[in-house]
Amino acid sequence: MLGKMMDDDKLEDLKHFVHLCKNDPSILLKPSLSFFRNFLESLGARIPPSPVKSEKGEEEHLDELDEDIIESDVELDDTDTVEPDNDPPQQMGDSSSEVTDENRDAAQISKAKALDAISEGKLNEAINYLTEAILLNPSSAILYATRANVFVKLKKPNAAIRDADAALKVNPDSAKGYKVRGMARAMLGLWKEAASDLRLASMIDFDEEIAETLKKVEPNAHKIEEHCRKYRRLREEKRLRKIEHDRKRRQAEAKAAYEKSKKKEQQSEHEASDPDSASDSNEGKIVGIHSVSELETKLNAASAASRLAILYFTATWCGPCRFISPFYTSLPGKYPKVAFLKADIDEARDVASRWNVSSVPAFFFIKDGKEVDRVVGADKNSLEKKIAQYAG
């Protein structure tokens, strides 16, 4: 049938249109496609609501900013950086041990040997002597800082940082500890941290080497700090935009709910003031009754339209009701001008009490608000016979 109505070109156009709708459902919100949107909704489809627009009319893209700061966005001078060293941690002294004068003197001798080895360029030998000195006198911050400085010369920044940390633990005001750790961090490209350490070292005990190192470190540190400020600003802007987006969304939802409620209220008022309209809207279906006021509204509408109303009382536990209910359900199609009502006596007790219902199923025939007849029991023939009698 579809092949006869549409040629291959039109079918291809339809496929292309469906593909576009899948990629961008907002197409269906265009006024010119309202007929198609109504058709889809009648089949149970849910059309996504219109996206919130900014003041410029563009859709908010809340995910356009990265959550994390990406330092690779910044051009840095990393010519002096090295690959991190991953050697096992060097030996450290026992800070809880008591240092005797004899050990302190022996540590000084080892330190002197280390300084001689450094002057001769024998850096690994110097490390060994300094390790001996540290084990003899683990309470000396200068020994840790000196060994850290040798590790920097050996391009082993992680080892240097471990020793600098130990020196600063012993003496938090160790200028050499901050200086060497700053130099080691710079070797790893940790520019902000390096700048912080070197500035502290300079405040405690300034020297030319610190100043020279800062000249190399601070430009990179400033770039990263500016980069961080930029992303903090962008993240804050994103946070505020999200707050505004959520506010507008809640406002739109509240407005839609209010308009829906208002429309429903207006429709109810219209039905109450226009009985013919109310009756027409219920043609061909059975209306459930849940309260006396609801029943009176429906009966008044039927009376105003000079129509017969049938009030069917039933119950979920009633066997005869289950037998005749399908038949009753089929009657609105045959008698569209009759108002077919239905009430469950357990759910609408006030309605059943008002009509003195003593058994079910029971069918009350009502005209002009008054009972004109009734059928009690699941008698299909009697029911339809009386409908034909009073509906004419």
Average pLDDT over residues 64-91: 71
Q: Which long-range contacts (CB under 8 A, 24 or more apart) does 219-224 make?
A: 219/77, 220/76, 220/77, 220/78, 220/191, 221/191, 221/192, 221/194, 221/195, 223/74, 223/75, 223/76, 223/191, 224/71, 224/74, 224/76, 224/191, 224/192
pTM reported for the whole predicted model: 0.45
Percent of the chain with pLDDT over 70: 83
How far apart are the C-alpha atoms of 368 and 303, rounded to whole Å? 4
How big is the chain by its Cα radius of gyration, in Å? 44
The yes-or-no verdict on residue 169 having pLDDT over 90 is yes
The yes-or-no verdict on residue 226 having pLDDT over 90 is no
pLDDT of residue 271: 52
How far apart are the C-alpha atoms of 176 and 144, rounded to whole Å? 10
Sign of the CA dihedral with 47 first, then 48, 52, and 58 last: negative
Average pLDDT over residues 309-318: 94
How far apart are the C-alpha atoms of 170 and 386, rounded to whole Å? 106
pLDDT of residue 57: 44
How far apart are the C-alpha atoms of 192 and 69, rounded to whole Å? 14
pLDDT band at 361 (very low <50, low <70, confident <90, very high): very high
pLDDT band at 55 (very low <50, low <70, confident <90, very high): very low
- Which active-site residues does the annotation give? 318, 321
Least confident range from 23-27, 48-52, 262-266: namely 48-52
pLDDT of residue 229: 82
Which are the contacts of 209, defined by CB distance < 8 A and separation ≥ 6?
179
pLDDT digits (tens, 9 = 90+) for 150-161: 999 999 999 999
pLDDT digits (tens, 9 = 90+) for 368-390: 889 999 999 999 999 999 999 99
pLDDT band at 179 (very low <50, low <70, confident <90, very high): very high
pLDDT band at 68 (very low <50, low <70, confident <90, very high): very low
**What's the CA dihedral at 217, 223, 224, 228 to 10 degrees?**
150
What is the DSSP secondary-structure string of 157-219? HHHHHHHHHHHHHH-TT-HHHHHHHHHHHHHTT-HHHHHHHHHHHHHHS--HHHHHHHHHHHH
pLDDT band at 263 (very low <50, low <70, confident <90, very high): confident
- Torsions phi, psi of 363, nearest 5? -125, 120
Average pLDDT over residues 310-335: 92
- Torsions phi, psi of 287, nearest 5? -100, 125
pLDDT band at 50 (very low <50, low <70, confident <90, very high): low
> b/e map of 199-215 (b: 16 or more CB within 10 Å)?
bbbbeeeeeeebeebbe
pLDDT, greater one: 281 or 19: 19
**Mean pLDDT across the chain:** 83
CA atoms within 13 A on the CB side of 339: 33
pLDDT of residue 269: 56
Q: Indicate the SS3 state at residue 240.
A: helix
Average pLDDT over residues 79-107: 90
pLDDT of residue 5: 52
pLDDT digits (tens, 9 = 90+) for 1-44: 444 455 666 777 777 677 677 767 777 777 777 777 777 777 76
pLDDT of residue 53: 45
How far apart are the C-alpha atoms of 272 and 194, rounded to whole Å? 80
